A and B are shown apart, each in its own frame.
Chain A
Amino acid sequence: MTSLGAAPPSDAAAVEPQRRPGVHPQLVVGAVLVGLVVAMALVSLVWTPFDPVRAVPAIRLQGPSATHWFGTDRLGRDVLSQVMAGSRITLYVGVVAVGISAVVGVPVGIVAGMRGGVPGAVLMRGADVLLAFPGLLLALILGAAFGTGTTTAMVALGIGAIPAFARVARSATLQVMRTDYVLAARAANRSAWAIAWRHVLPNIAGIVVVQCSVTYGLAVLAEAALSFLGLGTAPPTPSWGRMLQDSQQFLGVHDNLALAPGIAIAVAVLGFNLLGDGLRDVLDPRLKGVR
């Protein structure tokens, strides 16, 4: 018989591009960028170069200098300090939004994928209707109904991302449910709970984590857009979106006011997107065993 040990190289394995073992560049860059933003938020809790909300009219609209690396804004506040402090609200909104959508969307998707039939169809049709309301639109609606602000934004973005989570979880669950190992577990008389817990959840976890990362990036973008519109975080709490909005009247004259928060947003979103892509490559069970 084939010797115990490594499987013989099959034609299929040779034809598929082989993934080099070791670190994954996207994953590393993504983790570094996200780490940067998280570190910035943590540091800003205890220290920023200047008080991010203290206005010093004497030093309004200064360009970048040794003291104020990114310059000062129209009220004489330090831009770097504001960018640092602004990362907190960005991360906070993202955590809550992703939390809401994952906690609601994943169970809905798993139930829909495992049960099928009428309950599954009803759940997914509900998600489809919600799909017609992107997070940003939902934030505007809830803002009109209950007043704008950070809480409204977080809840709206969270609810808006539920359908995506439900769909991802459902299709992954369907895939797992079609496997022979679930059939084997059913033939071994395991309960639906046991199958969900031992087989479905571990096998869709990777895809859910990827979705979390992608959704986080979208939430950062949407929060910035809302603050930019003046419908997100209220002043004086520093936020990247509002800094961008404030910079608009000085465009072409003080571009540092737009670039600093703009780059911060792009770095955060890029970080979460790369992290998601990297995790997808590492965690996707379809790639397992090819290594």
Chain B
Amino acid sequence: MDPALRVDDLAVGTRHRTLVEGVSFTVEAGERVGLIGESGSGKSLTALAVLGLLPDNLAATGTVDVAGERDLLARSDRRLAPLRGSLLSMVFQEPMTALDPLVRVGRQVSEVVTLHDRGVHRRAARERAVGLLAEVGLPDPAAAARAYPHQLSGGQRQRVMIAMALANDPGLLVADEPTTALDVTVQAQVLALIARLVERRGTGLLFITHDLAVVSQVCSRVLVMKDGALVEQGPVAQVFAKPAHEYTASLLAASELTARRAPGSGTSSGRRPGIESAPPAHRPDPEPPTGPAIRLDDVVKTYRRGRTPVPALRGVSLDVQPGERFGLVGESGSGKTTALRLLAGLDAPTSGTVEVAGVTLAGPRGVARARDVARVRSDLQMVFQDPMGSLDPRMTVADIVAEPLLNPANRRDLPEAATRAGRRELVRQIVADVGLYGDTLERYPHQFSGGQRQRISIARALVCRPKVLVADEPVSALDVSVRAQVLDLLARLADERGLTLVLVSHDLAVVRHLCDRVAVMRAGEIVEQGPTEQVWADPQHEYTRALQAATPVLVR
């Protein structure tokens, strides 16, 4: 029997630049193969080349055979199109934009059926579409078929995409990061669905992801890509247990986030060797612990969309002690971002009390006093998720990092920041301390990689010596190999500066790596909180258990 996919000496590039070169592999019929690599490794281009969907300015050479059909690359679009959707098909990463917003979902599925079999009656195709939607586990398939894409959630849309891809029982399914944009629990369901459906149909699967843990759960064989070339391939168990290539080994090492070491034990890889870091910038005398650094007491926050109230927090209470590293875990819609906005004084609670560094943010009808908000903000700084979007593209790094110092309220303890030269010196120190060279100061954000930008972001947050640092998904936009370094940097800085750290994340593993205590949120409520190891080892609430079970674990 022919393999589901045979790729031989594939190269992809523009006229001037080669992006993928010398890639050869096969996917046997019914086999599940993972293709892993970081951003820029060329894994998505490889997939697009197989389907003949490369952007106009890129061209592919080499040989691609799919289930007995020879040399797909030599075919014109007109001759290749009939194979797509019937012989091989693809599921993409971004479910929000992958469906035509103007066409009902059922219609989009039934179209895939009629497109390849003109003889099918429209009614029959429509019924088949509803059947497929049922098969991918949409709760009310008939209603879903009548819905427009914007009326479905991300997970539901991805299920629709899978229904479309498998409508004609293809021999090969290419899935490009199909669960990356989804919540953890939804990801687990969608992964299980894909695995079940390809198994039932005997479909070969080429599964592209950056997440090694996902590969270890879904695939039997794995291909590792780096800089446009395959560096290693083999059975998952073998490659993950004994990686032959050092890049695979480093990826594996970076992917395994260990549990948090005992407080104060320092970190290993946070500091770049050879950099003179500034002297530890301890506060002169840490204030005696008078009370919690952060206290939320029965906080309720309700947004309004038009006339309908949208509850975001329904009575949240928590304490964070000074110097503690606290994790807030939850999926989208859990209210974790709202909690964070309240802490930073960016929003005021509808009811309840928010107390940060001894300042209470509350008032009648949820309007906090401006002076209190100002004091809180000078003691609490933030690091954001998107390391590009959080840096003004038109400012130099020096200006970006210095910005918090321009507000007199933020430099009460830093008299030297009153002058331009003083500010410059503070900026220079902190930038060196986060592990960036001095010549970065006059450059612009777009000249840095994601990890470096996140360091700049951290430098800005720490330049005015806050007591509390709040990090909102600080590593979820970063590659695996950079993720661990940024987390360790946060840990080191928190230790050296006696910071209270609040980490907001969707990823239980990230929180476990960094935090002493954790609170698990769902639908605006805290369902469980306690010491991280205790919650991890012995989760009490069923949702925590579900979350933990859904978190992909690297099996070696």
Contact = CB atoms under 8 A, between A and B. Distances in A.
Chains A and B share a contact (CB less than 8 Å): yes
B403 A198 contact: yes
B40 A10 contact: yes
A203 B392 contact: yes
A203 B393 contact: yes
Contact of A188 (B19, B377, B440, B481): B377
Nearest to B55: A15
A188 B384 contact: no
B518 to A, nearest CB: 23
Nearest to A291: B446
Contacts of A180: 384-386, 389-390
A118 interface: no
B39 interface: yes
Contacts of B373: 189
A179 B389 contact: yes
A117 interface: no
A183 B39 CA distance: 27
Contacts of A22: none
B388 A1 contact: no
Interface residues of B, number: 57
A209 interface: no
B529 interface: no
Contacts of A198: 392, 395, 403
Contacts of A18: 14, 57
A115 to B, nearest CB: 16
A199 to B, nearest CB: 6
A289 B406 contact: no
Given A4-B452, A183-B390, A289-B393, A11 B384 contact: no
B110 interface: no
Interface residues of A, number: 33
Nearest to B340: A187
B10 interface: no
Contacts of A129: none
Contacts of A4: 436-437, 440, 452
A129 B45 CA distance: 50
A54 interface: no
Interface in A181-210: 181, 183-191, 194, 198-199, 202-203
Given A2-B482, A6-B447, A188 B407 contact: yes
A184 B380 CA distance: 11
A288 B344 CA distance: 30
Nearest to A203: B394
A114 to B, nearest CB: 15
Given A183-B390, A190-B407, A203-B394, A8 B452 contact: no
A289 B445 contact: yes
A7 interface: yes
Contact of A1 (B42, B382, B485): B485
B451 interface: yes
A9 B40 contact: yes
B410 interface: yes
A236 interface: no
Contacts of A179: 389-390, 392
Q: Which of A2, A9, A191, A198 has the most CB of B within 10 A?
A: A2
B506 interface: no
A244 B479 CA distance: 64
A129 B345 CA distance: 37
Contacts of A191: 407
Contacts of A9: 19, 40
B216 interface: no
Given A7-B448, A202-B394, A184 B40 contact: no
Nearest to B478: A2
A190 B344 CA distance: 13
Given A4-B437, A183-B346, A194-B406, A11 B42 contact: yes
B336 interface: no
Interface in A1-49: 1-2, 4, 6-11, 14-15, 17-18
Contact of B388 (A14, A203, A289): A289
Q: Which of B389, B392, B447 has the most CB of A within 10 A?
A: B392
Given A4-B452, A8-B39, A14-B19, A188 B445 contact: no
A187 B341 CA distance: 9
A185 B384 contact: no
A199 B346 contact: no
Contacts of A119: none
B390 A288 contact: no
Interface in B73-98: none
A180 B461 CA distance: 13
A134 interface: no
Contacts of A202: 392, 394-395
A288 B393 contact: yes
B378 interface: yes
Contacts of A188: 377, 381, 403-404, 407, 410, 460, 464
B460 A184 contact: yes
Given A14-B45, A184-B390, A189 B378 contact: yes
A34 B382 CA distance: 47
A18 B15 CA distance: 12
Contacts of B481: 1-2
Contact of B344 (A181, A187, A289): A187
A285 interface: yes
Nearest to A4: B437
Nearest to B254: A1
B231 interface: no
Contact of A2 (B44, B380, B382, B451): B451
16 contacts: A4-B437, A9-B40, A14-B19, A181-B390, A181-B400, A187-B346, A187-B381, A187-B382, A188-B381, A188-B410, A189-B373, A189-B407, A198-B395, A202-B392, A202-B395, A203-B394
Given A2-B479, A4-B437, A187-B381, 11 more contacts: A4-B440, A8-B40, A14-B45, A181-B400, A184-B384, A184-B390, A185-B403, A188-B410, A189-B409, A190-B403, A198-B392
Interface of A: 1-2, 4, 6-11, 14-15, 17-18, 179-181, 183-191, 194, 198-199, 202-203, 285, 288-289
